[in-house]
Amino acid sequence: MSDGPPTETTTTPSSLGRLSEACALAWLSALVCAFPTAIRASTGGGRFADGGLIGAAVWTSLVLPLLWLAPLAARGFRGVVSPRSVRRVAFGLVVLASLSAVLLAAFASILARATHHRGLGGVTFGLVGAGLLLAAAVVAGRAVTALEGLGERVPSWARRAPVAPLVVLAGAAIVTAPLLISGDDSSLRSSLADALLGGAVTTLAVVYGLHSALERAARVLALPLAACTIIAGYARVELAPESRAALGRAGGVPAVVLDLLERWTDADRDGSGAHFGGGDCDEGDPRRHPRADDALGDGIDADCDGRDGRARDGHILASVAAGERGNGASGDPPLLRASVTPSLAASGLHLEPSDEAPTPEPATSTPPLDVPVVPASAPATVVGAPASVPVSRPDIVLVTLDTVRADRTSIYGHQPPTTPRLEALANTGVVFEHAYAVGSDTQRALMPVVSGHPLSATPHTADEWPTIDDRVDTLAERLSRHGYQTIGVTSFTWLRADRGFGQGFGALDESPFRDGHPERTATGARAVDATIAHHAKLAADKPAFLWIHLFDAHARYLEHEGIAFGTSDPKKYLGELAYLDRELGRLIDAVASSPRAARTAWLVHGTHGEAFGEHGSDGHGTQLYDEVLRVPLFVAAPGVRPQRFGAGAVSTLDIAPTLLALAGAPSDDLPGVSLAPVLAGDSDFRRAHVVAHAYRRVALISWPLKLMTYRTSAGKERLTLFDLESDPGEQHDLAGARGDELRKLAALLPKRADHDR
């Protein structure tokens, strides 16, 4: 093969020769394309060499079929389209394939963010995708024509010189360099960068072929070298899980390919495959996978870590003999996750799923508590002023902190301080020590703040990200009817007017997430800027309700100038909290310096928390341990004396009735409990138990006890019981040792758990 630009080939190489040349070109191309993959692996916590080897294996397996088939396809097309050279037609095919892949991948990503409706998304992708393919074909044809014209004008010596490849590679590097070496975990950005580089390198390989000096070596070495690279790279995927995980976090074409291959091996559809980094130890049982909750003492290694139960805090929990379950033996409580115990079964209590309608959470415990309730019309008073000076219908600022767990904030004693500005504001009001979200996933956690009802009791569509029905009487609508001017500022793509979240708001400002994707850029500063601007324009003669939703603590975690806690995810999470605190400090200052300062009430809360492996899982949405359920909640309002309320648990379901009580508006139809008695100084206030839900899971907290249930795919209920006062880390399951209390709490569970969605 010549080393110059494409000219008509006079001889037809043998099949082995074509394969050897394709292997050599694919291997050399893969080395170039694997370099950014190696960088991403090293910056993401893996090894540079592992990333390079794995990347080379994936790229070789991708590029080799293209380089082998493109000349064969070109020879077939040549007889149909024109007498052009094989290489020119092959060049057109490579341009068509590369450009189509980039366009379709980009459109698929945009479509995924724009709609969660699978049917509509599939039809849209099919129709628009066909148009994108036609456009790519037009561009490919123009590229072939341009190449022919260029070849006629360039002297033969320049065509033989490596000027053109260097120019193309330099151009690709300039375009993609910011994405290739950033270690960015955005799959779209990394994949597009890889596709651009891969397309440029593969195109050069097709156009220029293999240098004549390498042809003899290629016939001997190329095939075994390519085969060894592929085998060694994919074997390293299995042997180096940390590098595989780093690639998954960083994204890019190799990460996408490995994810697809892993899903192909996921026979039991539990979300983890048996190979390519999946780590599933039993593809015949969907209950066993690396993210499963591993019960201790049941003899089953559910989480595929090689043992029954988990290692926590550097100690391996010892298995408990079957004879010790529920026998009330002296010593430490049995460390096991109990199924329905014999004593519980003997009591006649059956925890079976039911099709009954959701039961609203009771406002009082059983038996009912005699709790004095502040009338809804009771006015608040100005902070620092005599109690006889009322403030009728104070301004209300509701701050919703997405994915913020209580124990990582300064408000609840975290060191080093993460939220000093919020701590200072909280110290002027009532801090609720044991506040719990109604669910650990975003949909369940946010709905009560908007509608005042749990998700199951709020009419909505069946979409994964549902639209609220017009029949819902939202918190904003209730306050608007009561004479409030209402403004909302949202930082998350679900909280949009077309999803029903604008109901009752005079304005719902979506600019924070419209100007930048909330999972890839910081939106806190934009949200605070918008809220300050709206606050400055409020009418002076009407009370105001301002809701600001801040998303930044939600993964992915970004680094912010002037804030440094560390580079690991848990440390970067602290940095996100500090960033939110810094931005909210600007809002606090703006309100404090305004004429409305003395009449402003603040309610600040988290939606749900975030796990960092405390109980074998990361993130949120699946478990109901305190790291994902306990959230910050405080109220600083006119006339409220500072205190910390720790006598019982409260719920984010109580936010709506509490705010309505502050405004003097009725809330009798809401299932939550107004916390106004606590704000008024009632030391005897006790709320009934609180309930939270996740998929197949329910948690019931009757402070200090916490009961958690898990319904297996076979329909069996597994129960755990913790004493949060003596065991805040939820390490010691008391289900077998405190059967009487277990039964009492189990009797309070709703008849139908809201955990099947």
Range ranked top by mean pLDDT from 128-137, 203-212, 378-387, 614-623: 614-623
What is the rounded CA–CA span in Å between residue 445 and residue 457?
13
Q: Which of 62, 103, 105, 96 is nearest to 254 (CA)?
A: 62
What is the rounded CA–CA span in Å between residue 343 and residue 279?
37
Range ranked top by mean pLDDT from 148-157, 387-396, 532-541: 532-541
What is the rounded CA–CA span in Å between residue 482 and residue 740?
47
What is the rounded CA–CA span in Å between residue 78 and residue 144?
13
Is residue 500's pLDDT more than 80? yes
Is residue 725's pLDDT more than 90? yes
Is residue 403's pLDDT more than 90? yes
**Residue 31: per-residue pLDDT:** 85
**Residue 82: per-residue pLDDT:** 55
Contacts with 189 (C-beta within 8 Å, 6 or more apart), sequence order: 179, 182, 251
Q: What is the Cα 355 distance to its own chain's centre?
A: 30
Residue 732 carries which side chain, given as an amino acid letter? Answer: H
**Residue 465: per-residue pLDDT:** 84
What is the rounded CA–CA span in Å between residue 412 and residue 414?
6
What is the Rg, in whole angstroms, of the alpha carbon atoms belonging to the chain?
31
**Residue 529: per-residue pLDDT:** 95
| Confidence tier at 513 by pLDDT (50, 70, 90) | confident
**Residue 287: per-residue pLDDT:** 67
The residue written with tokens 């806190």 in the block is 524
What is the rounded CA–CA span in Å between residue 60 and residue 222?
11
pLDDT digits (tens, 9 = 90+) for 5-57: 444 444 456 677 777 778 888 788 888 888 888 887 777 667 888 888 888 88
Count CA atoms closer than 13 A to 695's CA, side-chain side. 9
Angle subtended at Cα 548 by Cα 542 and Cα 549, rounded to the nearest 5 degrees? 155
Helix (H, G, I), strand (E, B) or coil at 234: helix
Which strand ranges, in their side-by-side order, compose the sheet holding 485-489? 507-509, 485-489, 544-550, 395-401, 600-606, 633-636, 430-432, 643-645
Please answer whether residues 479 and 539 qualify as being in contact, where contact means their C-beta atoms are separated by less than 8 angstroms.
no
**Residue 534: per-residue pLDDT:** 96
pLDDT digits (tens, 9 = 90+) for 180-194: 444 334 556 677 777
Is residue 346's pLDDT more than 60? no
**Residue 42: per-residue pLDDT:** 76
**Residue 166: per-residue pLDDT:** 52
CATH topology of domain 393-683: Alkaline Phosphatase, subunit A (3.40.720)
Range ranked top by mean pLDDT from 614-628, 630-644, 739-753: 630-644
**Residue 302: per-residue pLDDT:** 66
What is the rounded CA–CA span in Å between residue 169 and residue 683?
72
Burial class (CB in 10 A: 0-12, 13-18, 19+), 398: buried
Q: Which residue has the higher pLDDT, 456 or 484?
A: 484
Torsion over CA: 176, 177, 178, 179 (sign): positive
**Residue 121: per-residue pLDDT:** 55
Range name among 449-458, 469-478, 534-543, 705-714 with the lowest pLDDT average:
705-714
**Rounded mean pLDDT of 535-559?**
92
φ/ψ of 666, rounded to 5, equals -70, 150
Q: Which residue has the higher pLDDT, 489 or 330?
A: 489
Contacts with 404 (C-beta within 8 Å, 6 or more apart), sequence order: 553, 577, 580, 606, 607, 609, 610, 631, 632
Here the tokens at position 88 are 């020119």
- CATH classification (class only), 321-361+691-757: alpha beta
Please answer whether residues 656 and 475 qualify as being in contact, where contact means their C-beta atoms are separated by less than 8 angstroms.
yes
Range ranked top by mean pLDDT from 88-92, 247-251, 722-726: 722-726
Range ranked top by mean pLDDT from 210-224, 350-364, 737-751: 737-751
pLDDT digits (tens, 9 = 90+) for 422-451: 999 999 999 999 999 999 888 899 999 999
Query: Percent of the chain, pLDDT > 90?
Result: 34
- The residues spanned by each domain of the chain are 15-251, 252-320, 321-361+691-757, 393-683
**Residue 756: per-residue pLDDT:** 42
Average pLDDT for the chain: 75
Q: Are strands 380-381 and 611-612 parallel, antiparallel or unpaired?
A: unpaired
**Rounded mean pLDDT of 461-481?**
91
| Confidence tier at 3 by pLDDT (50, 70, 90) | very low
What is the rounded CA–CA span in Å between residue 422 and residue 605?
11
**Residue 750: per-residue pLDDT:** 83
For the chain, report the end-to-end CA distance as a whole number of angstroms: 61
| Confidence tier at 409 by pLDDT (50, 70, 90) | very high
DSSP 64: H
**Residue 390: per-residue pLDDT:** 36
Q: Which residue has the higher pLDDT, 525 or 121?
A: 525
What are residue 400's DSSP bridge partners?
Answer: 549, 605
Segment (H or E) for 631: strand 630-631
Q: Which residue has the higher pLDDT, 352 or 221?
A: 221
Is residue 640's pLDDT more than 80? yes
Please answer whether residues 403 and 607 qualify as being in contact, where contact means their C-beta atoms are separated by less than 8 angstroms.
yes
Q: What is the DSSP string of 701-757?
A: EETTEEEEEEE-TTS-EEEEEEETTT-TT--S--TTT-HHHHHHHHTTS-SS-S---
What is the rounded CA–CA span in Å between residue 182 and residue 466?
35
Is residue 332's pLDDT more than 60? no
DSSP 218: I
Q: What is the Cα 228 distance to its own chain's centre?
A: 37
Domains 321-361+691-757 and 393-683 fall in the same CATH topology: no
**Residue 10: per-residue pLDDT:** 44
pLDDT digits (tens, 9 = 90+) for 668-687: 899 999 999 999 998 889 89
